[in-house]
Structure 1
């Protein structure tokens, strides 16, 4: 049949991606991606849970927000490609545990307080209309791994193929929760570092997602004046509107490289910086030191990287670095035994590996083993959509994966504190 279609979705805390798939030949017909509209209720899931606690109708508001957005995105794809929504045979959804509970309007307070248990982590199927999603077929949630590691990670493992290799691999999902996966076909361990959304552009003063106009690359030079050659590149080569995750990473690496910030992360005062061009970019606004990235003519649309931004990155990179070290230790292996390190998400498409190494987020021993695999959650959701065999593998991944809780581990705390510093 020419009217046999499917939808695969990655419901992220920050971004929602939607894929229209031809179920006959597996072709991806079209894709759309948007910022999660729940973001106005909180940059991360903890803030959104707080919103539901503080507002009587909060969970219903968040449910309606994500359901409406799913329906709008499906409508856009179907209208654009002359596909009837009634001919959507199946929709598969990957996402973190809290986002999936919110889709169903289930209270998430159970995850935010002891004993921190999710209502479900299993794979579940619904009639679309039953949960308010306007398609003719079934909506299938991929299985999650634990209360803090959702089906987006299951999908990522599936997409990477690390569960089928004899060699050890690491999968990094540098989204809001900062999940780290280590393993092979004999077993997988995973942790959630709560790295925060810095690498998605959130909690950064001029931060933005990976959209057109986002500054994705920054390269300083002592010879570039305020009105000289640009020190950045933007996605789509558009006018700059903010800084996305890869640009945030570059900013810290470059500021460290040129001595604008020291090993503790402190941004130096202008009079402490020798280079006349670099020192001219350091200003104090709202009692905070800031480094000028892009100066607009009227200064109303200028873009800065602030001292607070540096601290946000320090927290995120320290959590990721410490998480990797704990998992390596837990498996009793060395970096030499790691065959590949996969970077998931759009962030990985633009990430400068040297910058990640320079700031200490990734171990230098693995610099030649880093691979970007794009939106692995979306890719895994597509695989789950198209193949019963892949659905079986997703269930096998759930069973073979052990969650490592970091909050009560002294070694994680030690590694975290040590990783807050910059070492060049």
Structure 2
């Protein structure tokens, strides 16, 4: 196991972390650039038989976690400056290597959320360097959620990414669908394409093509994938790689690699242990088209409160006003929806008044205050929509780690907070789920 450290010269392990090399080896170590993406990946791994624990941020060296096959470190690094994202990701890598992981997975969004300033490319570069790897596959495809890559272009359903609602994302507007161009603007290394004509030919042909590209000096390979079979092919072809970058779909084929090697047992139950009482609430911060439809469906049948960042000067004042409107329903044990999910034009108007970063921070802080108050009042089942919102909520609640339960929709499971107080969380990417997602999620844990 000391050889794992020796092949990573730019990672300096502390003595406390090095002592972890004497513990059980974890097969797969994952670094996710947001919290809902981390849960999405953990859900994929659990459904194919990997005992998976998700941590919130990089745990301390002495954090006690359950025995597991995969560790997913959830960072809130997707929209922060690249230099900060790199530092956080390398800290996560150091912690994972101390657990003896055999392979590292850098989890990004299936819609490649980023800007020309970063930071997918910068983090991927840093992880490649730290691991001493020549090449890594990059693939955000997730056919189950209608994300596919063909000729290096990312499609959302039948539309190019740049023609999808992601073009109006308030923080990471995606106006280019060509992943090679996007990644090339962020990375300092050569980026090339692994076309579907090769991927569809199977794992041996794919592995041979990757070796050829590595010999040419290519460091990042954007891989086409239009079917789940393509993701299984990529997983098999990358079984010897130390690093992969992609959406949760790219992880579909990884558990079977470990199973074939005799390192992974059969599939397991994903039921959440124990009973959790208390009431429920939904916190919807995403302004995606999917979440807006979910909000409309739930608001037609439940008490709902709009979070208006223009209503007061502080997050505490906005949260208190929202809670006062919902006090009656909460006292009766009813489920309440709190939402800031509005149309792009309304978002633009708010941003023009408050500024892009201040308005986003104010909304996140408001949901953080709401989550703390709701849990204090006895809410024990929370559905949270939006990656940034989920990050703010779990940070405010002091969540350190989660176990993964049953799937609600592709990419979204229920989770249970590890700790003395029972609390269930469903952390949903803004773009995921059908119109009745909130209702179905809560019906699973009544």
TM-score normalised by structure 1 residue count? 0.28
TM-score normalised by structure 2 residue count? 0.27
